[in-house]
Amino acid sequence: MKKFDSLDPQIGFVTKVDGLTCTIAAFDYMNDPTIIHNGKVIKNITVNSFLVINQGFTKIIGKVIYESIIDQQLSTDIAGKLFHDSRYQKNSIVRNINTQIVGYIENKIFVSGSNYIPMIGNLATIPDSNIINQIYINNYSSIFDEKTESISVGNTINENIRINLPINNFFASHIGIFGNTGSGKSNTLHQLYTSLFAKINFDSIANKSTFLIIDFNGEYTGAASFGLIPAQKHVYKLSTQRITDSRLPIKRDFLMDSDIISMLFRATEQTQKPFIKRVISGWNNYESIPDSLANWISSIILKVLQSEPSSILLDFLRDVLSTLIPTFSNEDDLLEKIQQEFV
């Protein structure tokens, strides 16, 4: 275990730059798994660890992609030829750290990109907890102070540094959780909101904010999910395969919308959507008028009868209206009855 007395634990110098990657030759004492810095035990860098490449006042952030260790020990035989000496010598071991440039620190904010490229001879150091937090929480790092309410989302795997997120700024933005199947996306979401509800008084925000969880797999329907008691939440267990007592309440105004109806019925863009839009618009305009639907139907029938309709259409109307008007002798009588009943 190596003990450091300098401000930053030094790793080594840049010896090669190739595009957005560079090679760092580590110092001899960087072969230990841990080091002591300012009285704290720090894990040495490994693959996927972050490091800082100091270029003047600029801090370039790199990520270790792989390492190579070379034994440079050579010996000379009696004939004067060089050969590799397989006997172990600590001072002959060279550790090369291959690093991918991922960004830089500017005004205490981590910026992704390649605006700065390392140069030969730049010194590489191990980042402290402040820089690690700036990398992971990005621009949130600039708003932290003693009064900032935050939640902990866990520790980094390589550096074992706790990461905190500001509540107001983080949850007021769009959040994306990405990963492969089984990587823990659902658990991450559950942990985020469980930590939020545990940090603040849930009842104090229940009247101001609504949290809607759409759960297709039933992962969040447990009685203790999100750390809330059953009285603090309502679970709707919906099913398209069987009839259940659970129903999702929907306001009538929300359902009677042309866009919603078009989406539910998969209406075509050119013909069906304009028709649905006209119908919904007429419904919204005349639904409050008494007998508006009956008046509209009667006006349509009157227009049909007054425009010399075909015999087929008249027969159809007779069949339909026979249930409404039991007796009529001819078309004139039918027209008179319609006028009496509907107008």
What pLDDT, in 10s, does the model give residues 180-199? 988 889 999 999 999 888 88
Residues 10 and 43 in one domain: yes
The answer to whether residue 148 sits within a structural domain is no
Rounded Cα–Cα distance for residues 341 and 302 (Å): 12
Do residues 245 and 257 share a domain? no
Considering the domain architecture, whether residues 85 and 178 belong to the same structural domain is answered as no
Q: Based on the domain organization, do 108 and 20 belong to the same domain?
A: yes
Domain boundary among 229, 249, 269: 249
| pLDDT tens digits along 40-86 | 888 888 999 999 999 988 999 999 999 988 776 665 555 656 666 66
Helix spans in 84-234 (H) = 129-137, 167-171, 185-199, 202-206
Cα of first residue to Cα of last residue in the chain, in angstroms, is: 99
Same domain? For 264 and 288 the reply is: yes
Say if residue 292 is in the same domain as residue 273. Answer: yes
Residue 2 burial by Cβ neighbours in a 10 Å radius (0-12, 13-18, 19+): middle
With respect to residue 122, please indicate whether it lies within any of the assigned structural domains: yes
Residues 23 and 118 in one domain: yes
pLDDT at residue 145 greater than cutoff 70: no
Contact 331, 305 (CB under 8 A): yes
Dist. CA 125–CA 193, nearest whole Å: 36
For the cut 60, the answer to whether the pLDDT of residue 5 exceeds it is no
- Measure the CA–CA gap between 240 and 263, rounded to whole angstroms: 17
pLDDT at residue number 125: 94
80: in domain: yes
Q: Which residue has the tokens 């159809």?
A: 316
Q: What is the pLDDT of residue 309?
A: 62
Residue 147 lies in a domain: no
Global pTM? Answer: 0.60
Which pLDDT does position 323 carry in this prediction?
60
pLDDT at 199: 86
Q: Residue 161 domain-assigned? A: no
**Same structural domain, 234 and 281:** no
Lowest mean per-residue pLDDT among 7-21, 77-91, 111-125, 308-322: 77-91
Are 16 and 123 found together in one domain?
A: yes
Q: How many domains does the chain have?
A: 3
Inter-residue contact 185 to 216 (CB < 8 Å)? no
Considering 249, 270, 304, which residue would you say is the last residue of a domain?
249
Give the long-range contacts of residues 69-74, CB within 8 A, separation 24 or more: 69/93, 69/94, 69/95, 69/96, 70/94, 70/96
- How far from 254 is each of 73, 251, 277, 280, CA to CA, in Å? 78, 5, 14, 12
Could you tell me the pLDDT band of residue 273, with boundaries at 50, 70 and 90?
A: very high
Q: How far does CA 150 lie from the centroid of its chain?
A: 19
Same domain, 209 and 292: no
pLDDT in tens, 162-172: 888 888 888 88
Residue 140 in domain: no
Rounded CA-CA distance 261/250 in Å is 14
121 with 233, same domain: the answer is no
**What single DSSP character describes residue 293?**
H
Tell me if 57 is assigned to some domain: yes
Pairing relation of β-strands 109-112 and 93-106? antiparallel
- Is 290 found in the same domain as 231? no
Q: Which of 218, 249, 280 is the last residue of a domain?
A: 249
Domain around 85: 2-128
**Binning pLDDT at 50, 70 and 90, where does residue 31 land?**
confident
236 with 246: CB under 8 angstroms? yes
